[in-house]
Amino acid sequence: MKLNYSMLVVGLLAGGSVQAANLYAGQAKAAAVCSQCHGVRMPSADAPFPPLGGRDPEYLKTAIKQYRDKTRVSDIMNAVAGSLTDKEINDIAHYYGNVKP
Amino acid sequence: MKKNRTKRLNQSLLAVSIATLLSSGVAMAKSDNMHQLYEDNCSSCHGSDHGGYLAPALNAETLKGRSPTALRTIVMAGSFDTLMPPFYGKLSDDEIRGVIKHLQATPKQPNPAWTMDDMKKSLKVYVKDEASLPDKPTYKIDNIDNLIGVAARGKYGRGEGSRAIFINSVTHQKVGEIPTEVAAHIIDFNPANPRWAYVKTDTAEIFKVDLYSMQATRSIKTGFNGPGMGVSRDGKYIMAGSFVPHNAVILDADTLEPLKTFELEGIDPDGKMVSSDSGMIIGTPYADIFAIALENAGQVWIVDYKKEGFPVTKIENVGRHLHDAFLTHGGKKLMIASYDDSIVAAIDLEKRDIIKKLPAGCVPHVGGGSAVVVDGRTLGFGTNFGDCDKMVVSVWDLDTMEVVKQIPVSGGTESPAAHANAPYVAVDIISKDRRARTVQLIDKKTLEVAKTLDVGGHAYFPEYSADGKFLYISAGYNGDEVVVYDSNTLQKVASVPMESPAGIFSRGRVKYMTRGLSPDEMEQSK
């Protein structure tokens, strides 16, 4: 998917003071870790997995961190998110946040 | 390089952590239900006889010694860089454990029967009175040849996402979607009547599609698995062949009623009598015949569909494990790939004999094949899986039947696309790493790779629009779009979203027979 300059700027701004998000890194990570279930843009019409495209990046960040830290319990998500760093989570959240579903 | 390794590492970490997590717990589901569960979820790719199809064979022999926990991880999380989807949330943990236990205890099944009667009973009529259908397209299109059909597999190889999707290749807008329940694999257009197309699924159903009103009017199940399908030049007959069971059938293209079945068996190149999968089936503009490849028997059969009883001429000893083919010389010659001999055999359909066997790289898979006329020579292009060190695209002079060049490319390839009006022959790189995202473009004149496109997804099955102005490419597997490029500038001009797109089929094919040839070529041969 093509990421244009304005999306990148939005991503950078939305990243806020803590960390600037790298949408390209987020896209690569999402493709490797998330897309098998959640899709690159949208999950399959038949999939039991929720869509991530266009969701609020802050919400996604919080949720993925909770899964990683096992404060939110899901056998598969605790395993999948278990090895992600804060930086990777930030990148992924902003990548999906900027995808138009 | 480093990136790849990191990605692999992450994946294996993921696999291990999922496996560890789930290695505890209780299971055991009933084996009889498990067969149905396999049929309903797995068999469209892995084969109804447990003998493999698009995906590996799953039976007691092939899964011997494999850790059930590791297998469970693959079923749950899917397998990256393949079409295997994650069944987590689709199947319960007990079901996943149960089906793995069942598979590890089940031998490959004997060929299940699917008779003429079974086919007749499977015939469904969706539109009773075809005369009531509109007499021209109900959507805006200047020329019906501008239609491009995409076989969208759907993530799970079945379900909502499994459709044949038709696009106007001038506007790049979808103009119709035909739900097929199971992954669509092949789309063929009727050469005699522009309103009809035929879609075959991985579970061997054939849908007759009205392109004017964009709906299926009939369907029939011709077997359990197998993509082989061809349409006769007069548009009156369809021939379809299966992997499971080992048979082929000629259908009335109008009613889809079966007319005759053929048991596929014969003496293979090593002198053994074998029962055989059906490979490609092709109708040619040159004569009232079908050609069908018997994969395991290494034979090509020619069927005269206008003659009483559909008599067969058998050409033996063509090559080991035949698969796909393309036509040249007005449809008089057939170039057919042999996986195991790594050759493409040129067959004279007039004399019904082998002309020559040509080197074709390593495990040749020619897809729809391509042929272009450059400086008075007709050049054929052959892709190959390249499961060895030799990663090349073969170019043959189709008049003299000599190898012109083996062009180095960056990986294994599956399907070449060409068009008389486009400067490049596009080949899809399928090697299972970042290269799978790419398509390479070979300059027709210099016969060298001129450019590499990073399409994304698992990019495969390139196809030019009928006017040659646009190059369509499926960003499949996990990808969810067909990407459209300008054929000359190679700039991305559009994206058409759909689930796991695979084969792309332009209606232009019926005019130029083989992609890359000009329609004049066919006129000459008449």
Q: What angle do CA B232, B236, B242 make, to 5 degrees?
A: 60
Q: Which of A37, A40, A41 sits opposite B86 (nearest CB)?
A: A37
CATH number for the domain running over B2-105: 1.10.760.10
Element counts in chain A: helices (H) and strands (E): 6, 0
Contacts of B161 in chain A (CB under 8 A): 44-46
CB proximity under 8 Å: B 400-439 to A: none
SS3 readout for B223-289: CCECCCEEECCCCCEEEEECCECCEEEEEECCCCCEEEEEECEEECCCCCEEECCEEEEEECCCCCE
Contacts of B11 in chain A (CB under 8 A): 32
Question: Residue B524's pLDDT is what?
Answer: 57
pTM: 0.90
What does the alpha-carbon distance between residue A81 and residue B70 come to, in Å, rounded to a whole number? 19
Site from A24, A36, A87 to mutate, B interface, most B CB atoms within 10 angstroms? A36
| Percent of chain A at pLDDT exceeding 90 | 56
SS3 B405: strand
Q: Which of B17, B85, B86 sits opposite A79 (nearest CB)?
A: B17
Summarize the confidence of residues A61-71 as an average pLDDT. Answer: 97
Closest CA of chain A from B106, distance in Å: 29
Domain boundaries, chain A: 5-98
Question: Residue B368's pLDDT is what?
Answer: 87
Residue B173 structure tokens: 């807008």
Question: Residue A14's pLDDT is what?
Answer: 47
Contact B378, B399 (CB under 8 A): yes
Q: Which of B10, B90, B479 sits opposite A40 (nearest CB)?
A: B479
Q: Which of A28, A46, A48 sits opposite B161 (nearest CB)?
A: A46
Instruction: Please name which of B195, B91, B58, B177 lies closest in space to residue B133, comparing C-alpha atoms.
Output: B195
Contacts of B481 in chain A (CB under 8 A): 1, 41
Q: What is the pLDDT along chain B (526 residues), one digit of tens a residue?
A: 333 333 343 444 455 445 444 443 334 446 679 999 999 999 999 999 999 999 999 999 999 999 999 999 999 999 888 899 999 999 999 999 999 999 999 999 998 899 999 999 999 999 999 999 999 999 999 999 999 999 999 999 999 999 999 999 999 999 999 999 999 999 999 999 999 999 999 999 999 999 999 999 999 999 999 999 999 999 999 999 999 999 999 999 999 999 999 999 999 999 999 999 999 999 999 999 999 999 999 999 999 999 999 999 999 999 999 999 999 999 999 999 999 999 999 999 999 999 999 999 999 999 889 999 999 999 999 999 987 777 899 999 999 999 999 999 999 999 999 999 999 999 999 988 888 999 999 999 999 999 999 998 889 999 999 999 999 999 988 788 999 999 999 999 999 999 999 999 999 999 999 999 987 766 555 5
Contacts of A87 in chain B (CB under 8 A): none
Closest CA of chain B from A25, distance in Å: 11
CB proximity under 8 Å: B 146-205 to A: 154-156, 158-161
Residue B7 contacts A where some CB pair is shorter than 8 Å? yes
What does the alpha-carbon distance between residue B513 and residue B200 come to, in Å, rounded to a whole number? 19
> B408 to each of B366, B384, B405, B411, B456, how far by Cα in Å?
16, 12, 9, 9, 22
Q: Which of B10, B89, B497 sits opposite A48 (nearest CB)?
A: B89
A5-98 classified as CATH 1.10.760.10: yes
Residue B13 contacts A where some CB pair is shorter than 8 Å? yes
Contact B217, B125 (CB under 8 A): yes
Whether A44 sits inside 8 A of B154 (CB atoms) is yes
Whether A1 sits inside 8 A of B88 (CB atoms) is no
Domain boundaries, chain B: 2-105, 116-520
Q: How confident is the model over A22-44, as pLDDT tens digits?
A: 998 998 899 889 998 998 888 99
Whether B17 sits inside 8 A of A33 (CB atoms) is no
Residue B456 contacts A where some CB pair is shorter than 8 Å? yes
Q: Which of B7, B85, B481 sits opposite A32 (nearest CB)?
A: B7
Whether A1 sits inside 8 A of B156 (CB atoms) is no
Residues A31-57 as b/e (b if ≥16 CB within 10 A, e otherwise) read: bbbbbbbbbbbbbbebbebeebbebeb
Closest CA of chain A from B14, distance in Å: 6
Instruction: Please give the backbone phi and psi of residue A8, each rounded to the nearest 5 degrees, phi first.
Output: -65, -45
Residue A25 contacts B where some CB pair is shorter than 8 Å? no
Decide which of 3.60.21.10, 3.30.70.260, 3.40.600.10, 2.140.10.20 is the CATH code for B116-520: 2.140.10.20
Q: In what order do the strands lie in the sheet with B163-168?
A: B173-179, B163-168, B147-152, B501-506
Q: Is B333 exposed, middle or buried (0-12, 13-18, 19+ CB in 10 A)?
A: buried
Chain B CA closest to residue A42: B480
Whether A36 sits inside 8 A of B478 (CB atoms) is yes
Using only C-alpha atoms, chain A has a radius of gyration, in whole angstroms, of: 13
Whether B18 sits inside 8 A of A76 (CB atoms) is yes
Q: Residues near B362 by Cβ (< 8 Å), separated by ≥ 6?
A: B342, B384, B385, B386, B387, B388, B390, B391
Taking one residue from A and the other from B, the number of pairs with CB-CB distance under 8 angstroms is: 84
Site from A33, A44, A84 to mutate, B interface, most B CB atoms within 10 angstroms? A44
Residue A87 contacts B where some CB pair is shorter than 8 Å? no
Residue A74 contacts B where some CB pair is shorter than 8 Å? no
Q: Is B136 exposed, middle or buried (0-12, 13-18, 19+ CB in 10 A)?
A: exposed
Question: Mean of the per-residue pLDDT values for chain A?
Answer: 84
Contacts of B155 in chain A (CB under 8 A): 39, 43-44, 46-47
Q: What is the ipTM of this complex?
A: 0.78
SS3 B440: strand
Closest CA of chain A from B41, distance in Å: 12
**Is the pLDDT at A17 greater than 70, yes or no?**
no
Whether B77 sits inside 8 A of A76 (CB atoms) is yes
Residue B479 contacts A where some CB pair is shorter than 8 Å? yes
Residue B476 contacts A where some CB pair is shorter than 8 Å? no
Whether B18 sits inside 8 A of A80 (CB atoms) is yes
Whether B160 sits inside 8 A of A44 (CB atoms) is yes
Whether B160 sits inside 8 A of A46 (CB atoms) is yes
Whether A36 sits inside 8 A of B492 (CB atoms) is no
Contact B184, B153 (CB under 8 A): yes
Residue A42 contacts B where some CB pair is shorter than 8 Å? yes
